Structure 1
Amino acid sequence: MSVLYLQRRTMDIDDHRGEEAIRPMELTSVQPFKECITISGACLCAFRRNFLKKDEVGITPAGGYRWRDAQSYIAVMWLLEEERSRGIPIKHAGNGSEVKILGRKVDGYYEAGKTIFEFHGCFCHGCVKCFRDGRDKPIHNNSEETMNTRFE
């Protein structure tokens, strides 16, 4: 009952202005006040009904589609600076994905010059400033390697 009242009231206001009412059902084939509780729920319902193909599951990766490979911000910034200073295109996680060379992913790769770019950041070197806590704990279940042993 309240839904009908709200729709009728909206139409009265729009008719008073002389404008045409926007009806969500006509645009999206979703009745947001009947089928959904939240705005995000209405958007998801419209997406599933109008864009998602049958028997398909839409799952966004944890890091989104752009950052398929985990690479630190500072590493990408370094690779972008190398691209700019050398005037060459380098493939990396920030502009697509990392390249595999002999079965191993590399941080950056310049195909024409067959040049590999590797950024060994704070984690590789056991930086005291960035990794203050748990420096004596094993890394990756390796009892011999800790942040203290990595520190140079």
Structure 2
Amino acid sequence: MRRRRLMTLLLATPVLSLGLARLLPGSRAAEGFPFQLSESEWRQRLGDKAYAVLREEDTEPPGSSPLLEEKRTGTYACAGCGQDLFRSETKYDSGTGWPSFYDVIDGAVGTREDRSLFLGTRTEVHCSRCGGHLGHVFEDGPPPTGLRYCINGLALEFRPQTGAAG
């Protein structure tokens, strides 16, 4: 009987810990980001789908973002707090189904280890101002950085450059 309990505990602990932070409302707020709102304010500001992505670390379906087709010159900002994150010059078609960038605006994003999948460790990307989940960064991008910031379109707001041709 002891052996069965021990085996159950050893097998269940990693499974239960995976993604547990996603189930805790406001877990990001405890990290002390400069821009903070209550859960109800976030819900009102973002709507259901963007809230799920930015505040609950959900992922939008691949190919669903209108930003995949955005070709104008401008800036991609956080849909949660408005902080500028990416410049259009760094956007490229990665073929993944999500808007992808090879570089960020200095200081605009933070990263942390993400072990929510059984596939190993990924690097989660979030807005440095509000902590909103943006997506993940991978080391298979183009030069000059070799990085691929794979970002949920629902986490972004595109701001065209004034007077930019497109």
TM range, smaller chain:
under 0.3
TM-score normalised by structure 1 residue count: 0.25
TM-score normalised by structure 2 residue count: 0.24
Between structure 1 and structure 2, the one with the greater Rg is: 1
Between Structure 1 and Structure 2, the one with more strand by share is 2
